[in-house]
A and B are shown apart, each in its own frame.
Chain A
Amino acid sequence: MSLLEVRDLHTSFFTPAGEVKAVNGLSFSLEKGKVLGIVGESGSGKSVTAYSILQILTHPGRIVSGSIRFHGEELVGKSDEEMRKIRGNKISIIFQDPMTSLNPTFTIGNQLCEAIEMHTDRNREQSRARAVEMLKLVGISEPEKRLKQYAYELSGGMRQRVMIAMALACEPDILIADEPTTALDVTIQAQILELMMKLQKELGMAIMMITHDMGVIASVCDEVIVMYAGGVCERGTTDAIFYNPRHEYTRGLMRSIPDMSDDEKTPLIPITGTPIDLLHMPPGCPFAPRCEQAMKICLQEKPKEYWVGRDHLSACWMNVKDGICCTERPEEEES
């Protein structure tokens, strides 16, 4: 049994202009102690996936159908009361912008202790001790002093450390990191990623890393899901996705990032066109209008996910055409 199992998830926002299918038939599973990366452009539905798991979608968004199982227990349809026991306790989240996700009118200590008191039976004093312990764990100097400070008194990297401390205070099984380093500088990003990986090994939790940065994916993830327009293009182990991409969108993404080791300045090959309008989804593959290899069937019918390797699934008609995929998981890894 997987730690987290998402099956055919559909989440939509019902706007006055029409239904926006932000997540459109997403399936994946997350195993204990693994780091799963979700990569995609803005509007691909990666954050909405995270919010759906925790059910923190704001109006007019809601889960339309699908199943989210955590330890085999169905989360879709749970009441707010029941979800509150899971959020911040069993599944935690850290957001992109550490400034707006901390309350500016309360001290750091106040906010940290609140989370601990809420989910454990520690009293004020014990939770304070736990807060100090957590701040030490995430590498914040003078933790006692920091507890009395407000968010504005800390730097961006420091705030993100506080967020991580808060998220990990109850020893969650899953940590969802929604673009945790996008707002930070490269040297601080390296610090935070290193810290997250260290804690992941120490505490044995699973991480869902949502990012648009292929570099971050390559350096920390075991498995990757590539999303486009609310659906999965391709998913598999990090090596399979990077060295053997089986979807035109993934290939396009790889070609459009500058290569640091290239001294010849080879021109980039961008993906043509503009991202899809989620209000007007085409009937076929959502990437087909921008895909250079698009065939007739791509425009008419949405491709299903097929196995293209032992740990590698792809939703692209090209694989079907070339006959390099199967409906059953193959026994041996293809070379």
Chain B
Amino acid sequence: MERNQAGKPASEYLVQVSHLKQYFPVSTGFLKTTMLKAVDDVSFGIRRGETLGLVGESGCGKTTVGRTLLHLYTPTEGEIWFDGEKIGSRESLKNFRKRAQMVFQDPYSSLNPRMTVADIVAEPIDVHKLCAGREAREARIRELMTLVGLNTEHATRYAHEFSGGQRQRIGIARALASNPEFIVCDEPVSALDVSIQAQVINMLEELQERLGLTYLFIAHDISVVKHISNRIAVMYLGHMMELASANELTGHPLHPYTVSLMSAVPIPDPKESRKQQRIVLEGDVPSPLKVPSGCPFRTRCSRATKECAERCPEMREASPDHFVACHHL
């Protein structure tokens, strides 16, 4: 996909990932380790100012992609390019850490209970020495708290004094502290109630517009991902199955897995729901330690043939800007 767009100007994509692999050794017995292929040969690009949604079921490797992208794990294989620069060396990482940040899923465990809100938000500022002097630092903390809709008078409070939605705002303020261009949002609204979810989603969208941010939005709730994303990528067992614009992917999914995934989303409308043709997949997702040969989805796919077991399908452009990895299309 993006790897063959050599002719295009590099500036279109802020982040480019090619043939990314992330394996973890797992102990499977006495003196025996097996490689868990959390991410296996994934390539994609994220355009400047866009939101790329990443969906998939638990254990499909979407969180690992997000973390590896930020070099929180050193990739087993593959390259990550950020703004035309290859990420990996010590020097490149130092600058990269300022420009790329992360918002975590659980607003309870991702904030240090012993630190005040001001110190949590200011941590990136302190680490990267972004503010000279105490007053500038304090002014910046106030600015950030206002930006995410927190009361600046609460700067001396501790995280446990806030509700889930407010904690997530603290996490977002911290991510914004170093003026990043790129933010990986790892299930930022999954732990929140519906009414609060909408508040945080709207805020993320506003911040994107105001600060020109680029997001990788990881979530399992497809209706939320569709709402916030320009394009969506679907993952299954460490492989990328399909990548297309949000409307195209939800309206005209091509990969058999995406098709069944879309049909399984419960529609909050009783009449539509009664009409809905569910394609219920048989069985469970195989263990990531025992990924089937060839196409990882073939064990649950109704269209699986001999070819699927022998060869893993490559990502192909099925229609303009719609990439799919399946032998049968």
Contact = CB atoms under 8 A, between A and B. Distances in A.
B293 interface: no
Given A155-B284, A185-B220, A258-B227, A194 B270 contact: no
A299 B288 CA distance: 54
Nearest to A228: B195
A233 B193 CA distance: 17
Interface string A263-293: 1010111111011000000000000000000
Contacts of A212: 193-194
Interface in A105-132: none
A295 interface: no
Given A190-B278, A256-B195, A260-B250, A218 B266 contact: yes
B1 interface: no
Q: Which size class do A's interface residues fall under?
A: 35 or more
B281 A187 contact: yes
Interface string A32-75: 00000000011000000000000000000000000000000000
Nearest to B163: A274
B111 to A, nearest CB: 17
Interface string B268-279: 111111001010
A256 B268 CA distance: 12
B202 A270 contact: yes
Given A219-B266, A258-B227, A268-B227, A187 B196 contact: no
A275 B197 CA distance: 12
A263 B251 contact: yes
B266 A257 contact: no
Contacts of A258: 201, 223-224, 226-227
A239 interface: yes
Interface stretch (B27-35, B65-73, B127-135, B257-265): B257-265
A220 B52 CA distance: 32
Interface string B159-183: 0000101100000000000000000
Contacts of A143: none
A91 to B, nearest CB: 26
Contact of A157 (B227, B260, B276, B284): B284
The 8 closest A-B pairs by CB, nearest first: A215-B266, A270-B198, A258-B227, A256-B198, A214-B268, A185-B57, A271-B195, A190-B264
7 contacts: A155-B284, A188-B57, A212-B194, A215-B265, A219-B273, A238-B270, A263-B251
Given A213-B268, A269-B198, 17 more contacts: A157-B284, A185-B58, A186-B264, A187-B261, A187-B264, A193-B266, A212-B194, A213-B266, A215-B223, A215-B266, A219-B267, A242-B268, A243-B270, A260-B250, A268-B202, A274-B165, A274-B166
Interface of B: 57-58, 163, 165-166, 193-199, 201-202, 205, 220, 222-224, 226-227, 247, 250-251, 260-261, 263-273, 276, 278, 280-281, 284-285
Interface of A: 41-42, 155-158, 185-191, 193-194, 212-219, 238-239, 242-243, 252-263, 265, 267-272, 274-275
